[in-house]
Amino acid sequence: MATQKVERESAESAKSASSTVRAGELVVGFIDSGEGVPLVLVHGGESDRTQFATLRSRLGAGIRAISYDQRDSGITVNPPVPYSLEVLADDLVALLDALGLRRAHLLGTSFGGAVAQHAALRHPERVASLILVATTPSYAMGGEAVDELLNMTHDQRRNAVADFFFTAGNQAELHARPQTLTARDPEQSARRHAVARQHEIRDRLERIAAPTLVVHGTADRLAPYAGAVLMEERIPNAELRSIEGGRHGIAVEFADTIARWVREYLGVKAA
């Protein structure tokens, strides 16, 4: 029995390992694990495909979880030229094409939520639903807190992330875990930050046709709670679930709760 357990664990580990695939003009790094309802996990601005390790481990059976590296992230290879959120949305759809997926559910956190919103606007036929976690409809709503974080060096950001991301009682424990902040060269960071500052769809939220679950912490400084309320109000088929006192890293700190909500929203029954 012990041998069988090791073999199963090894097989699952191999399936969850990083791979690359040609998607449009890019070579995209991704992790593809589990079987069932396809759920694409779209990482935040300073992270990569490994950001979702904690949440992925809580999703359980019946969900095929696919995380990938956006441009200038992780092991994805892209031309060293400026791009836009629209381009990142098209990249996401190119990945779906490369993986043979006609439609998928999208879960985006922070900047990844902005990418997911643009994908839903540009390619509504490809998006089965949106799950928007700790994100915003407008860069401007983050104000000075977002500018403060983006203007830090990588090392400064690593030291500051606990206070921005986690509640006071859990900061020490969560900050001690391996972090998924991706180190980028100055040119890569400049391109990413320029794209983040472009995000503004408050006047287009009504055009999002996909059913949408908004998950948000009430004490998020980087994506203020007012943005979550606005998304619920303006997206036609949206609902908001709040985490009282939660900050920007709710997908890690409250992974059990969010994974349960995701399963409920996708209609995946407990094993």
> Residues 213-260: pLDDT tens digits?
999 999 999 999 999 999 999 999 999 999 999 999 999 999 999 999
Three-state secondary structure string covering 28-72: EEEEEECCEEEEEEECCCCCCHHHHHHHHHHHCCEEEEEEECCCC
Of residues 159 and 252, the one with the higher pLDDT is: 252
Domain edges within the chain: 22-266
Report d(CA 157, CA 176) in Å as an integer.
14
* pLDDT tens, residue by residue, 99-116: 999 999 999 999 999 999
Whether the per-residue pLDDT at 204 is higher than 90: the answer is yes
Whether the per-residue pLDDT at 7 is higher than 90: the answer is no
Amino acid, res. 42:
V
Mean pLDDT across the chain: 90
- The pLDDT of residue 106 is 98
The secondary structure element, H or E, covering residue 127 is: strand 127-133
* pLDDT tens, residue by residue, 183-201: 899 999 999 999 999 999 9
- The pLDDT of residue 10 is 35
- Domain 22-266 is found in CATH 3.30.70.360: no
Other CB atoms within 10 A of residue 211 CB: 17
What is the value of pTM for the model shown?
Answer: 0.91
